[in-house]
Amino acid sequence: MAKETKKNQLGKGIRALLSQMDDAGPKQKEEIVQDLTTHSNALPMDWIEVNPFQPRVEFESDALAELAASIKLHGLIQPITVRRLSDRSFQIISGERRFRAAKLAGLNEIPAYIRLADDQGMLEMALIENVQRQDLNAMEVAVSLERLMQECDLTHETLSERIGKKRSTVTNYLRLLKLPPEIQKSVKKNIISMGHARALAGIDNLSLQLTIHKELINKELSVRSLERLIQSYQKPAPKPVAPVPTAKSAEMEHMENHLKSIFGSKVMIRKDQKGKGKIEIHFNSVDNLNYILDILGEIE
């Protein structure tokens, strides 16, 4: 007998699990769905097809190339989600950009959550139960929350009610998915905490995010120390201090006093080292201004 190909070996466990669905009772079916929807499975790339109803049809080539390079270096952090069509045929529900980048990176298989055609209610229950587990890292929680929103069509508000967490907490978790893969990987491996990741997510500049992330790990900073470090990078440059005016000469003070006696108002003469400057005549009312203008008119 010919030796099984790697692809057949790869999909054997998944096919065996899916084949149980037809004869499974309600309880067993629920367990299978929970396993498929909360644990990713490695699927061969050529078993997967894109969704023809995907609203997004254009993917920016430079961004795909950058993601592909990151996948080569760090692997795919966030699995895609597919719908089972047959034993060896699956259609993408979410994650087409990640799928295209993985293909560009030369991957033969990709981690994926598998959805069944009629598992909507069980999917929601399984994911909510998964979010409420105590042993998940922040990235796993973030991925589950995003799946609940995308696949179960939940808003931030509805999602926060379903899982019993504040809306701000949901938002903070979802922001982690926008972090670069290097930082997501650190969260997933518990190298940095949720607090660290939340602080890094507040940085708009990608290059600065990665720089501070590296410094955070090298120095093993606490969350408070990290926040101070971020503030030091983002602190606006101090305004240039105006030069302290040099003491006025007796001659300059005499001229100011002379003009003050003419206009009946405070007069200041400012002069730089090159001899350039200006004369300021102060007034404290409209009548005072008109009086000064009258005198200037007489001078003309």
**What is the DSSP track for 233-260?**
HHSPPPPPPPPPPPPPPHHHHHHHHHHH
Q: Which of 151, 175, 169, 148 is nearest to 159 (CA)?
A: 148
- Could you confirm whether 96 is annotated as catalytic? yes
Supply 201's token pair: 């997510």
d(CA 25, CA 18): 13
Q: For residue 154, how many other CB atoms are within 10 A of its CB?
A: 21
Q: For residue 99, how many other CB atoms are within 10 A of its CB?
A: 21
Q: Are 35 and 13 in contact (CB under 8 A)?
A: no
- Which alpha helices (H) appear in 108-249, and where do they start and end? 120-131, 138-151, 156-163, 167-175, 181-188, 194-201, 206-219, 223-234
The set of residues, in sequence order, having a beta carbon less than 8 Å from that of 264 and lying 6+ positions away, is 288, 291
3-state secondary structure of 90: strand
In DSSP terms, 195 is beta-bridged to none
Q: Are 41 and 80 in contact (CB under 8 A)?
A: no
Q: Provide the CB-side half-sphere exposure for 137 (13 A, CA).
A: 14
From 96, 182, 227, 256, active-site residue: 96
Query: Rounded to the nearest 5 degrees, what angle is found at the Cα of 65, between the Cα atoms of 79 and 147?
Result: 20
DSSP state of 243: P
Which amino acid, 94?
S
d(CA 275, CA 283): 26
Q: Give the residue numbers annotated as catalytic, written as ranges.
A: 96
